[in-house]
Structure 1
Amino acid sequence: MKDFISKQFKEPKGLVGKAAGKVMAYENGALYDWTFHKLGINNGDMVLEIGFGPGEGLNKLLSSFPKCTADGYDPSEAMVELAKEKNEDSIESGRLRIRKGTAFDVLTENQYDRIYSVNSFPMWEEKEQAIQHLHSILKNEGTISITVQPRQKEATIKEAMRLSDEISAYLKQAGFHTIKMDDKELKPCTAICVSGTK
């Protein structure tokens, strides 16, 4: 049962997956505004979210920055459906495009000012290669921010710092500079946000 629930948060499916998505939206709410601040979004930027879950972050982004446009990629069909429902107006106006897929599915001709991810990084496949691909589709002087808050029962600040070191190393290997880690004390565990500039 534990493995089934864990899988629903990794790649939510069906009604149970949608329920998991709503939990994600509630728990990640406080992290989005923090991430946007660290990302340094300017009104008018083209922004990409990897692993958008139920679409709460995209909704916050486009509400807070009315001149921004955005793309979102998530591997879960259930999350794609929820995100489309949550962001129907932005999709219809042409400000938002929702896609099923991972970082590797983002077309290389797309070029973004900002890229972010909140609490999806631990589920990524081939993390190092994914970050290299994101570097290739980011404009020069563009920024990336990856935020993670460990949620497992045994999560500690040690796990948060391990993730911070891992993300920082991948960003450096991909060619990002001015890499910075910030932390935020939250329950059940400290959240970290690692940012870099191309």
Structure 2
Amino acid sequence: MKDFISKQFKEPEGLVGKVAGKVMAFENGPLYDWTFKELGINNGDAILEIGFGPGEGLHRLLSSFPRCSVDGYDPSEAMVELAKKRNEDFIKSGRLSIKKGTAQDVLSNHPYNRIYSVNSFPMWDDKEQSLHRLHSLLKKEGTVSITVQPRQKDATIKHAMNLALEISSLMKRTGFHSIRTDEKELKPCTAICVSGTK
């Protein structure tokens, strides 16, 4: 049963997956707002989100920055469906493109100014290769921010800082510079946001 529930947060499926998506939307709201500040978004930026879940972050971003355009990739068909419903108007306007896939599946004919991910990094299958791909998709001096809040039952600040060390080390290996880690005190555990520049 535990494995089944874990799978629903990694690649949500069906009705149970959609319920998991609603939980993610509620819990990740403050993390999205914080991540956008850390990312240093300018109105008019071309932006990519990896692991958009039910699409709450996409909606918040496009509502707050009316001249930005955004592409989103998520490996779950259930989340793609939810995100499309949540952001139907933005898709129709041409400001948002949503596709099923991971960081390694991103196809773009233009580089991005900003790339972000909220609470999906621990579920990436090949983290280093994914960061290599994201680095290649950024404009020179573009920024990536990866935010994670540990959610396991026994989560502590130590879990958060271990994730920060893992992410910052991988960013350094994949060519990012000016790497920094910021912390935010939240329940049930401190969240971290690691940002790097191409």
Query: TM range, normalised to the smaller chain?
Result: over 0.9
8 Å CA contact 1:72, 1:97 repeated in 2: yes
- What SS does structure 2 have at the residue aligned with 1:152? coil
1:104 matched to which residue of 2?
104
Structure 1, unaligned runs of 5 or more: none
1:194 matched to which residue of 2?
194
- Give the number of equivalent residue pairs: 198
Superimposed CA distance per residue, residues 41-99 of structure 1 (whole angstroms, 9 cap, x where no aligned partner): 00000000000000000000000000000000000000000000000000000000000
Name the CA distance, whole Å, in 1 between partners of 2:107 and 2:90.
21
Superimposed CA distance per residue, residues 135-154 of structure 1 (whole angstroms, 9 cap, x where no aligned partner): 00100010000000000001
Percent identity between the aligned chains?
Answer: 76
Matched, 1:151 2:157: no
Matches within 5 A, 1:66-145: 66-107=66-107, 109-145=109-145
8 Å CA contact 1:177, 1:197 repeated in 2: yes
2:171 matched to which residue of 1?
171
Name the CA distance, whole Å, in 2 between partners of 1:42 and 1:83.
23
Letter in 2 for 1:113: N
Runs of 4+ in 1 over 3 A off after TM superposition: none
8 Å CA contact 1:38, 1:145 repeated in 2: yes
- What SS does structure 1 have at the residue aligned with 2:92? helix
Shift of 1:190: 0.3
Name the CA distance, whole Å, in 2 between partners of 1:7 and 1:174.
28
**CA RMSD after TM alignment:** 0.6
- What SS does structure 1 have at the residue aligned with 2:188? coil
Shift of 1:110: 3.4
2:51 matched to which residue of 1?
51
Q: Which moved more, 1:108-117 or 1:95-104?
A: 108-117
Letter in 1 for 2:36: F
